[in-house]
Amino acid sequence: MNGPDNRALRVVMLLQNSRYPQDVRVRQEATALTRAGHRVVVLCPRGKDQRWREVINGVDVWRFPAPRDGVGLLGYAWEYLYSTAAAFLLSLIRAVREGVDVVHAHNPPDTLCFIGAFYKLFGKRFVFDHHDLSPEIYEVRFNGKGNVLVHKVLISLERLSCKLADRVIATNESYKRMDVARAAIPEDRITIVRNGPELELFHAGQRPVELPGHDGKTVICYVGAIGTQDGVEILILALHRLLKDLGRGDFVCVIVGSGDAWARAKKLSTELGLDRHVVFTGRLPYTDVPRYLAAADICVDPDPSNPLNDRSTMIKMGEYMALGKPIVAFDLPEHRVTAGDAACYAKPNDDMAFAELLQALMDDPERRRQMGAAGRRRIEDELAWSHQERHLLAVYRALAR
């Protein structure tokens, strides 16, 4: 029989800006809570060829018709309002059928807090899982030239989400400090649950994918989103420097992922004459990602310094480290917190400095081995998801009390 600290809770998870189970963090959290005995339903947009409802590893998944991706201010407003309304309606159906104890909202958007506010009227608990800093995303997307009023609204929604929440989950210490400062909530209401790779998937025994025609070349790999803030275009510029300025043609760079900057990055690669050296795979099934990383000699994280990236933890960093790969990245605060000695750090946003570090690692296989081993140890000892889920379960034990 469950005691007061571990009774089963009925959890409604809200996800808007991704699909399930493609969103790694949400999948990890939902699965961990289900294994712990809680009853979890994830409400999210439906992707192409996905069912409206299914059970995945014990997690009940209910989907609503996905909105069109927002373009411009009105487009984003419609996307977020529609998704919030659709998730709310599904939550009502779930509440009538199964009951609800906890509403767990994964941002963005921060408008999901209004669903949590509704259920708090009936004595239910609300968890705000702070994935992204929405005001900073807006600032970066519009290059600091966005509407001042919109920025203030986003700050107000983030503050409201934190204040309404019975517990806030932050991805790192930087987000925690931001929540304390911007929302003026006590630290003991915030729990850090970092993004961590699953060692069952990211392990040294992964069979590398074959890259025909690239024998003897150094394989550089990028895995992740290709959005405005992700720096893939800076990576392309650094590869051009590596080829033209440093005279190194003995490499191939595999770029795995997609996003709203994918077409621009691919066009830039072609314009700079890099098509023989850069392979764009597009989005791949998550289970295929480790095989591409296993084939890499060097992994890269070109996220540039900006108000968002300086505070954010990148999932790809942990995945690189789990497979024992050395990393080249820009010198951002959270990069150093995550990677430590597993990465070498270029001057922020300097594509030539990035290229020079790539060249240095290409010529030093022993250093690559040492860096990769340091990263793998850090994942095993501290950062793997098996360590992080303990903090998540502690939050739910507190909610059960």
Same domain (yes/no): 172, 223 = no
Q: Mean per-residue pLDDT for 329-353?
A: 97
Same domain (yes/no): 288, 396 = no
Domain membership flag for residue 185: yes
Average pLDDT along the chain:
94
Domain membership flag for residue 312: yes
Please report the pLDDT score of residue 4 as a whole number: 54
Please report the pLDDT score of residue 193 as a whole number: 97
Contact between 80 and 71 under an 8 Å Cβ cutoff? The reply is: no
pLDDT band at 7 (very low <50, low <70, confident <90, very high): confident
Contact between 103 and 14 under an 8 Å Cβ cutoff? The reply is: yes
Domain membership flag for residue 203: no
Same domain (yes/no): 181, 223 = no
Same domain (yes/no): 121, 228 = no
pLDDT band at 1 (very low <50, low <70, confident <90, very high): very low
Tell me the helices (H) and strands (E) count for the chain, helix number first: 14, 14
pLDDT band at 192 (very low <50, low <70, confident <90, very high): very high
What's the total number of domains in the chain? 2
Same domain (yes/no): 238, 344 = yes
Whether the per-residue pLDDT at 5 is higher than 80: the answer is no
Same domain (yes/no): 230, 137 = no
Whether the per-residue pLDDT at 6 is higher than 80: the answer is no
Q: Which of 3-17, 21-35, 151-165, 188-202 is predicted least confidently?
A: 3-17
Whether the per-residue pLDDT at 70 is higher than 80: the answer is no
Strands (E), 57-99: 59-64
Q: Mean per-residue pLDDT for 123-131?
A: 97
Tokens representing residue 217 in the block: 């070349």
Q: Which of 73-82, 254-263, 347-356, 372-381 is predicted least confidently?
A: 73-82
Same domain (yes/no): 267, 150 = no
Angle, helices 148-164/134-141, rounded to nearest 10 degrees:
160
Domain that holds residue 14: 10-196+384-400
Tokens representing residue 44 in the block: 């999210």
CATH of the domain at 176: 3.40.50.2000
Contact between 11 and 33 under an 8 Å Cβ cutoff? The reply is: yes
Least Cα distance to 346 among 361, 363, 332, 329 occurs for 329
Q: Mean per-residue pLDDT for 270-275?
A: 96
Same domain (yes/no): 392, 368 = no
Contact between 127 and 167 under an 8 Å Cβ cutoff? The reply is: yes
Domain membership flag for residue 20: yes
Domain membership flag for residue 206: no
